[in-house]
Structure 1
Amino acid sequence: MKRKQWNKSILLLIPFFLLSAMFLIVPMILMITSSFTSETTGAFTLENYQEVLTNPFYYQAFLNSGMISIISSVVGLVLAIIVSYAMTNLPEKIQDKLTVYINVAANFAGVPLAFAFIILLGNSGVFRIFFENLDLPLLSNFNLYSWQGLAITYLYFQIPLGILFIYPSLKKIRKEWKEAAFMLGASNWRYWRKVGLPSIMPSIAGTFVIMFANGMGTYETAYALTGSNINLVTIRIAALVSGDIYARPIIGSTLAVIFAIIMILILIVSQMLLKRVRRDLV
């Protein structure tokens, strides 16, 4: 009987495996094989990787993506910790409602997010016109279609994403720990430094990695907001595949493979650091 149920379960999973193969495995294999294919002869070659790794333009794309991801992840993580801690001091009903709104904000990205920021903070945005009518030069030096605007739009979805991961960890901190620390003469700063922060440090480290990967992989928001004005890896891959000037899908595949390797290495290093942190806490 159990064998029949197991066979039925396998049959029901066949469509899932087929879809995974069609949209994940096969494209990944084609991308990897394409990255080792010569654009002229079609033979096996390493020239694509040599070109990508020695071209300053592609190096700048990785550097720009890394910088915007690190900045948005660090600032977003700090603000997420502050907001999450403030939420834990609110009544449970308000916490539940805020969690729903934060979940919506974390998933509001892409072209709609860029369009919303253009309406609010663009050259003819609502806030810009409002402050100009009040003769307040608050946004006179602000350019939404630059690094400033890109950083703010990244923070919009990075902060809610960080809250969704940090908030449950902060809720697990018991009030008894703080009361016991105060009874033993510890100050509020010493309590957080010795008890509070170490207890949520694995969650903070894991959240930072997720936010960094989220920032590195963002394409729609950056492209809709700045186009090709800012050289990012995701924008460069899309331009090479679709043909910004002329299509070079093989170089785009090479960039994508290097990008995937970097993300895998970051995940491996982060897991090693998380294991070390958990071991030190125990």
Structure 2
Amino acid sequence: MHIAESGAGPLVLLCHGFPECWYSWRHQLQALAEAGFHAVAPDMRGYGQTDAPEEIAEYTIGHNVSDMVQLVAGLGEKQAVIIGHDWGAPVAWSSALLRPDLFRAVVAMSVPYRVRPPVAPMKALRDAGTTNFYQLYFQTPGVAEAEFEKDVDRSVRTLLYGTGLSLMMKPGKGFLADTTIPQQLPSWLTDEDISYFVDTYKRSGYRGGLNWYRNIDRNWAISGGWEGLKIQQPALFIAGSNDGVIKFAAKAVENLPTAVPGLKKTLILPDSGHWIQQQRPSEVNAAILEFLRSA
């Protein structure tokens, strides 16, 4: 496992999502270190410079929680605060749920904690006749990889700041179809940032990250053993008001205080999208540090 780290003090793990890498936490690493914490941002399983197992079944939520448990041990610590964004958020939520002895507090961004549904999510979509949801498109090995890897520079730019991207795809078209890349970078990205992500994905490809999606129903199957458990540790949820994920998961956001009794605050930043820790680092860092002081 490759990690980026900064500072000394209580351990804080930073778990990125798709399609990212440790670099998504560049602003938080510095802020946490300056505030007296040991901030560690790994390339998650299958990403960047971390190992990418061949078998799809080795990308379950169980594997990813285990990675975080072993990372804490490998760093010589007995406890940590865990922070996650996008796919990193379910890893953070699940780590806090399953190992409250190890993860003393949790911060999640973009993806709220969801109570286990009665039917496996991908099966439920298919049973309902839904065929164009992006997660279904990601299920077949090689298909999304071919689309994203055809032009990595375009893929990175489209996913980070392109317009016209939708979670519901048009029949017969790829995920990036009908999207437009603005000529000017948004204020929160630089050419150097784009180059880092492009170079990373040219080396690693997208298979590892996409395999996380291919375990959604497997995650549902293995999570039956902890159905009904609740997250009691101090928790913070952060998202952007324009994030399509929280619009899709509005009910889960509303139910957070019930599902996560330890929830201290839900912060929805106005005029912000999905990549919240990169788009609004000052506000995100301030919220994290305020939370850590009281957690």
TM-score range, shorter chain: under 0.3
Richer in strand (by share): 2
TM norm structure 1: 0.22
Q: Rg: which structure is higher?
A: 1
When you count helix as a share of all residues, which structure comes out higher?
1
Higher RCO, 1 or 2 (CA under 8 Å, sep at least 6)? 1
